[in-house]
Amino acid sequence: MSAAPANPVVLGSWFARDLAELAVTWQAEPPPDPKLLILNAPLAADLGLDPDWLRSPDGVGLLTGTVLLDGAAPVAQGYAGHQFGGFVPRLGDGRALLLGELTDTAGRVRDLHLKGSGRTPFARGGDGLAAVGPMLREYLISEAMHALGVPTTRALAVVATGRPVHRDTALPGAVLARVAASHLRVGSFQYAATGGDPALLRRLADHAIARHAPAAAEADNPYLALFEATVDVQAALIAQWMLVGFIHGVMNTDNMTISGETIDYGPCAFMDGYHPGTVFSSIDVGGRYAYGNQPGVAMWNLARFAETLLPLFAEDTEEAIGIATAALEGFRTRYEAAWTAGMRAKLGLPAEAGDEETGPLIEDLLTQLSQSQVDFTSFFRALADAARGDREPARGLFLDLAAFDAWLVRWLALNPDAVAMDRVNPIYIPRNHLVEQALAAATDGDLEPFERLLAAVTDPYVERAGLERYAEPAPDSFGPYQTFCGT
């Protein structure tokens, strides 16, 4: 390990110092032949990191964990988690490292984190590695989510390691450098709670308050205020997922952040044809994490979070349960409000239109979208055309034309605002067939399709000539789509 010269940024070790019981000091496995595949230069600049320096050998060393910034003390974080409903008391970063925290140019504290940096004490049977395809997948989809205004971890860079990774076949290996408000998860609290040390749990909660809910420190019951803050941000987050048709695919409690950022882009995908039962993940055979189940699962996960906090809510357990239950109920209201506001915006509805009218209108629309399995993303852009006088693009998406025509009449009577609709309804999302094409090419060494797709989806609302194929649903030949966790 050498120190990084010529870069003024200093990394903190706030988590590692505050929560040593949840952190194992660890080092990255040096990659044999590192090559920078992609760098997020605007994000680097926001972090106060010089993009040109990051492209240098020392910079690539930082991005793979072999060159440490001043103050850096990399750790693998421990956490527990309910995976598909079953509790696993010891998970943790099996192939990831928290390099430390830095303060970005806006004054916000960010975690700098590596994924695919080698085995750690939490690796269990895993090899600690990651392949180029899945790391570029996280880069692409998390940056698309950011461009859609959805809170998310960000991707700073992907570096090919030059080390093969053995999955079904040998694949080129890679390390992803990502940035997050923190990597505190519901599973972090479950891990601390399982240890039976109330002081550790309190320290973790205090750390979370300092980072994500500073106002909670002033509340009568700071830990309840922390829980309520997480309920709020998660309700808002899941509503945003639903409004863009995002399916996370593996909403285990270790993949739910306290900050309210989307984390862990494994088997996630965007829904094409609208249906609440949509599932892409090959291992989600029961549809636990289907599109329409996401709000309910989030609430279930938050109930697990509340369970860990009960001793901090009140000394008397019955009283603590009462407090937790009431706070958890807030999720429904917050989610409904965020989703309804978002759906009204997608439909360009004016503020004067009352919920008594728009509620049933939205319900009826979803029924029709589901019956005809209408492409969720194209629909709202086609609908804006209908508001401008051209109904045919939208009509062409439905099987029951009479029902849709009747719906259109009701909707048009409300004077929807087509320009406002185009500002909130993306035209370009990471469509599954394009993602797969781009990743297959990148795995074979051709990054151009990936870069073009990235450029399309990171500017998702403005229609551009030449990008027509990025706006189109998959051809029928693409067939049923499956995504995978084992990345």
164 near ligand AMP (CB under 6 A)? no
120 near Mg ion (CB under 5 A)? no
**Residue 185 marked in a binding site:** yes
Whether the CB-CB separation of 310 and 227 falls below 8 Å is answered with: no
239-268 residues near Mg ion, rule: CB under 5 A: 255, 264
CA–CA separation, 355 and 353 (whole Å): 7
Query: Pick from 20, 36, 73, 123: which binds ligand AMP (CB under 6 A)?
Result: 123
**Residue 119 marked in a binding site:** no
Q: Choose the one of ligand AMP, Mg ion, none that binds residue 100, judging by a C-beta under 5 to 8 angstroms depending on kind.
A: none
Beta carbon of residue 263, minimum distance to Mg ion (angstroms, whole number): 7
Which is it for the CA torsion 141, 209, 47, 28, positive or negative? negative
Segment lying near ligand AMP (by CB under 6 A), choices 51-59, 126-134, 291-299, 320-328: 126-134
**Across 184-320, where does the E strand assignment appear?**
246-247, 269-270
x/- contact string, 76-115, with ligand AMP (CB under 6 A)?
Answer: ---------------xxxxxx-------------------
Beta carbon of residue 26, minimum distance to ligand AMP (angstroms, whole number): 12
CA–CA separation, 232 and 331 (whole Å): 7
Number of residues that bind Mg ion (CB under 5 A): 2
Q: Choose the one of Mg ion, ligand AMP, none that binds residue 134, judging by a C-beta under 5 to 8 angstroms depending on kind.
A: none
Residues in contact with 1: Cβ distance below 8 Å, sequence separation at least 6, in sequence order: 27, 66, 67, 68
Token pair 């030059």 in the structure block, residue: 162
Whether the CB-CB separation of 102 and 14 falls below 8 Å is answered with: no
**Residue 110 marked in a binding site:** no
Q: Which two tokens stand for residue 331?
A: 């999720």
Instruction: Give whole-number Cα distances, 240 to 57, 236, 245, 295, 346, in Å.
Output: 39, 6, 9, 11, 12
248 near ligand AMP (CB under 6 A)? no
- The helix/strand/coil state of 94 is coil
122 near ligand AMP (CB under 6 A)? yes
**Residue 452 marked in a binding site:** no
Q: Which two tokens stand for residue 138?
A: 């996280």
Residues in contact with 437: Cβ distance below 8 Å, sequence separation at least 6, in sequence order: 449
- The helix/strand/coil state of 100 is strand
- 116-146 core/surface letters (b: 16 or more CB in 10 A; e: else): bbbbbebbeeeebbbbbbbbbbbbbbbbbbb
Q: How big, in percent rounded to 5, are the helix, strand and coil portions of the chain?
A: 50, 15, 35
Query: Pick from 142, 153, 255, 301: which binds ligand AMP (CB under 6 A)?
Result: 255
**Residue 128 marked in a binding site:** yes
Nearer Cβ to Mg ion (7/253) = 253
357 near ligand AMP (CB under 6 A)? no
Beta carbon of residue 149, minimum distance to Mg ion (angstroms, whole number): 23
344 near ligand AMP (CB under 6 A)? no
266 near ligand AMP (CB under 6 A)? yes
Whether the CB-CB separation of 114 and 97 falls below 8 Å is answered with: yes
Beta carbon of residue 264, minimum distance to Mg ion (angstroms, whole number): 4
Beta carbon of residue 16, minimum distance to ligand AMP (angstroms, whole number): 17
Whether the CB-CB separation of 182 and 108 falls below 8 Å is answered with: no
Query: Pick from 46, 104, 127, 436: which binds ligand AMP (CB under 6 A)?
Result: 127
Whether the CB-CB separation of 123 and 97 falls below 8 Å is answered with: no
Nearer Cβ to ligand AMP (50/127) = 127
- The helix/strand/coil state of 9 is coil
Beta carbon of residue 187, minimum distance to Mg ion (angstroms, whole number): 8
Active site (catalytic) residues: 254
For the annotated binding site for ATP, the residues are 92, 94-95, 115, 127-128, 178, 185, 264
Please report, as ranges, the residues that interact with ligand AMP according to CB under 6 A: 91-96, 122-123, 126-129, 250, 254-255, 264, 266, 485
Please report, as ranges, the residues that interact with Mg ion according to CB under 5 A: 255, 264
For the annotated binding site, the residues are 92, 94-95, 115, 127-128, 178, 185, 255, 264
For the annotated binding site for Mg(2+), the residues are 255, 264
